[in-house]
Structure 1
């Protein structure tokens, strides 16, 4: 329900914000191939898959500085139908919905290159089932997270009609919420048509010689993991991070910091085996101390961050690999500390 509410919120936001902007519509076909990224698959996939997607998006017009800086990007919602490939009796089909950004570069009079990045929710019709679909060990739940990356070339063939083609990479998994979760990865060839309303670019008003500055972020997150036992308990993971950042312009920053994770499954396992001598030892088994560096792109109220880090303090119980990476998408609510203090004072 939380995923559906989030998607409804995004759809409503895009609809309201797009009333004074130009809309773009696209329909695309993708010939996709499942990537065998692990030998743990209990099935052999062959042949190609077919993805059908429909996009409705808003073409920004440069009224805000970030729109000018990123070259008048588009943003919107993508609806996708996935034929997950063969054997179809195991993999079946899926439908997905996710918000996305579409960035243009190498603009010409009638053409441009596009980079699309999006993330949302995908419903898989045939996940793992201990009775009816035991060989499908890639996806363990109906609802999953999905992410897509696309690189396309777009050409205007007639008035407002555009033809585009390119390549894509798609990922579907539940993030370890339920076991099994090997995930599904596809590369694809894309072709499609789009309808773009004409628009006139506003003269650049953004001052590219923006001043650099520092910031400090304190972030809390949580997740749930299911370990090894299908249908077993889901153990919480708590995440705290302290993240200083250097903003070398108004829309990009270099970030580093420390991250503390607490994995309840490690502490539980240690407390119920001979691996821990006492409760304190069991508690320490769940701690992870990690250092990381990353880069953030601020796109309106949304930030996209890529991180790479290393676990300095880790337990040997379900610790994973010491070197890790994260792909973080955040929506920043327009609330400042001053407004919070003012609201608190008015309540008193």
Structure 2
């Protein structure tokens, strides 16, 4: 670990970054330690080790060139590489790359408290295998989505160097595209060092765009694929169509109310092995849902959170409610796409790819 830190800072704190015309970047190297949450009885046997690892970060300090920089009091936008050793041969190791927003909650002369939220992709070296690793119930695919959230306190030791202490949560899941997929949840304590290319940054203030409180509407469709279980490796298509109305709350966020129809091909296959339906006609597998959501915008990008319930659900499988977490991106003011994770309770249901139109 010490070798990594020395190599990292010897390179990045060289004259390339310390020159007088340097941009406001923050370069960091951290050590992580934590534990695995046993959020299901099916993974109690895996939550016995304490993962350790390291993390490398590159963050750019926003200065106000875009309107959302000023709206969020000039956050940092960063990229991270996170390595974990799980000290358990059934879980192996992981490497995750993600991008994130780091927002300052409180700032003093030498220290600041930040909140960080990031999304990305992770590679896990050991996954479920019926023959060689059947006790790994948390991950069955090498590639997984990762979510990282963390509170950080950054204290300046010198104009260009600071110490960081953080408390966070790392989550890994493949979105039920392959099962079993209970997912990994790892609370972590983080300690590290940051190098600041400039001791202080200069902000630009601009006239913000006028707030438009008018309602707007969206029409969208999604597609995703899910696996029923580890013994059935076929991927089944899951689709939805939704309509929503949104009310802007301020320049940063919208309140959303919508309705949607779901078409899950895997449910028809599940019915054939459902003993509660023996001798009975199979009920309709289509679902109709109503949801309430929130969008938090960062320019053309928005973080989506939703909670909904099924108003029509003849085939009673899973929970009667659902949640959704996603990232939405506007190619134009009207056309957008999104990547959403739909969840039933604590279990991923499907990873959705969305295309929509705003009017």
TM-score (norm 1): 0.83
Q: Are positions 1:262 and 2:263 aligned together?
A: yes
Q: Which runs of 5+ in 1 are unaligned?
A: 1-18, 338-348
Post-superposition shift, 1:34? 0.3
Aligned partners of 2:241 and 2:262 also within 8 Å: yes
Deviations 1:20-57 (A, max 9, x none): 95322111111111000010126243241113111112
Residue in 2 that maps onto 1:201:
202
Residue in 2 that maps onto 1:54:
56
* Separation in 2, partners of 1:21, 1:262: 50
Describe the shift of the 1:259–1:62 C-alpha distance in structure 2 as closer, same or farther (beyond 3 A). same
* Separation in 2, partners of 1:321, 1:73: 38
Residue in 2 that maps onto 1:162:
162
* Separation in 2, partners of 1:83, 1:248: 43
Describe the shift of the 1:232–1:249 C-alpha distance in structure 2 as closer, same or farther (beyond 3 A). same
RMSD of aligned residue pairs (Cα, Å): 2.6
- What is the DSSP-based 3-state SS (H/G/I as helix, E as strand, rest coil) of the residue aligned with 1:91? coil
Post-superposition shift, 1:84? 2.5
**Matches of residues 310-329 of structure 1 in structure 2 within 5 Å?**
310-316=309-315, 319-329=317-327
Post-superposition shift, 1:83? 1.4
**Matches of residues 141-290 of structure 1 in structure 2 within 5 Å?**
141-198=141-198, 199-207=200-208, 210-270=211-271, 285-290=284-289
Q: Are positions 1:111 and 2:111 aligned together?
A: yes
How many residue pairs were aligned?
A: 313
Aligned partners of 2:49 and 2:86 also within 8 Å: no
Post-superposition shift, 1:242? 1.1
Post-superposition shift, 1:178? 0.7
Q: Are positions 1:307 and 2:306 aligned together?
A: yes
Aligned partners of 1:305 and 1:327 also within 8 Å: yes
- What is the DSSP-based 3-state SS (H/G/I as helix, E as strand, rest coil) of the residue aligned with 2:305? strand
Relative to total residues, which structure has the larger helix share, 1 or 2? 1
Describe the shift of the 1:20–1:261 C-alpha distance in structure 2 as closer, same or farther (beyond 3 A). farther
Describe the shift of the 1:315–1:190 C-alpha distance in structure 2 as closer, same or farther (beyond 3 A). farther
Deviations 1:126-179 (A, max 9, x none): 001111111111111111111110011111111111211120011111111111
Describe the shift of the 1:273–1:51 C-alpha distance in structure 2 as closer, same or farther (beyond 3 A). closer
- What is the DSSP-based 3-state SS (H/G/I as helix, E as strand, rest coil) of the residue aligned with 1:40? helix
- What is the DSSP-based 3-state SS (H/G/I as helix, E as strand, rest coil) of the residue aligned with 1:51? strand
* Separation in 1, partners of 2:74, 2:103: 7
Q: Which runs of 5+ in 2 are unaligned?
A: 1-20, 336-359
Deviations 1:153-208 (A, max 9, x none): 11111111121112001111111111111111111111111112224333533449
